[in-house]
Chains A and B, each alone.
Chain A
Amino acid sequence: MSGTHSPDHDHDHEHDHDASATISNRVKALVATLERKGLVTEAQIDATVTSFLSGAQPANGFRAVAQAWLDPGFKSRLLADATSAVGELGIDLSHWAPVKIRAVENTPERHNVIVCTLCSCYPLSLLGPSPSWYKSEAYRSRVVRDPRGVLAEFGLQLPAGKEVRVWDSTSELRYIVVPERPAGTADLSADQLAALVTTNGLIGTALV
């Protein structure tokens, strides 16, 4: 923190900016030191980041969900071991840290929603970089206490009595939600189904 704020202010948004700026400055200092010592070049860093992120697209998650809707066998494998199952779609997670992906299924009885209260753990490989609200203190602290209220603010009103389950990814597992297949989609192709899916649907802050 910069220390320039009055001690009694409560403007959390400003804190988020301060934290990002601090990390950004630290990264710059670290990179400068590594370059000065000849341990890496800027080109190497750029190439690594590019290859790291090139496979990390939300289209991966959308395809996995569409396939699960079309193929009950794939859906069972996805729910049992998502890390292996997405490999069937040609999505290669082998260059990622040894995190395990878990898919959790929405049903008529239960809606699932994902958060990381401790930091901002997110299934980057299947959903790409996370939305900024996912990393906000407001979302992280409120969704565990009042998920129905937070989901209502996203425009998602869950029926009373339907279970809402919050998955706090505190450790090595990363989660995606498998939404329920929308009604009236029986004739759609895999690509058409994938086009219905949204990032918020896979986090659980939207129905699909």
Chain B
Amino acid sequence: MFASGDRVRTRVMNPDGHTRLPVYLRGRPGSIVYCAGVFPFSDAVVAGRPVDEPLYTVLFAARDLWGADADAAQTLTADLYESYLEQAP
């Protein structure tokens, strides 16, 4: 489980099946800004093995997604299941 304020990194993964972790958000550092609750984990539901997982809103700086020339005043959030996240190194 993560808490608001935790620094995380999205996993690098390329599953054969369904996932809600967009490619542009793989392997990126961010921080938890909201704990949304527990929901059916879509990847597992689609695979026919439903489990529930915590879902978090994760905040990213645009420069961590697009590089040093991105706007410093630009940020992005995405709602990501716990399986997509690891503690920031």
Interface residues of A (CB under 8 A from B): 98, 100, 102, 117-118, 144-145, 147-148, 160-173
Interface residues of B, dominant DSSP: strand
Residues of B within 8 A of A118 (CB): 20, 22
Whether B80 contacts A171 by the Cβ 8 Å rule is yes
Residues of B within 8 A of A170 (CB): 20-22, 78-80
Interface residues of A, dominant DSSP: mixed
Q: Does B73 contact A (CB under 8 A)?
A: yes
Residues of B within 8 A of A147 (CB): 74
Residues of B within 8 A of A171 (CB): 20, 39, 42, 55, 79-81
Please give me the residue from chain B that is nearest to A121 by CB atom: B79
Min distance, Cβ B53 to any Cβ of chain A, angstroms: 10
Whether B76 contacts A169 by the Cβ 8 Å rule is no
Whether A166 contacts B79 by the Cβ 8 Å rule is no
Please give me the residue from chain B that is nearest to A147 by CB atom: B74
Whether B75 contacts A163 by the Cβ 8 Å rule is yes
Min distance, Cβ A35 to any Cβ of chain B, angstroms: 27
Whether A168 contacts B36 by the Cβ 8 Å rule is no
Residues of B within 8 A of A145 (CB): 66
Report Cα–Cα, A9/B79, bound state, in Å.
34
Report Cα–Cα, A138/B39, bound state, in Å.
30
Question: Given A148-B74, A168-B25, A171-B39, 16 other A-B contacts at CB below 8 A?
Answer: A102-B34, A144-B76, A147-B74, A162-B73, A164-B71, A165-B76, A166-B74, A167-B76, A168-B22, A168-B77, A168-B79, A169-B79, A170-B20, A170-B79, A171-B42, A172-B39
Residues of B within 8 A of A162 (CB): 73
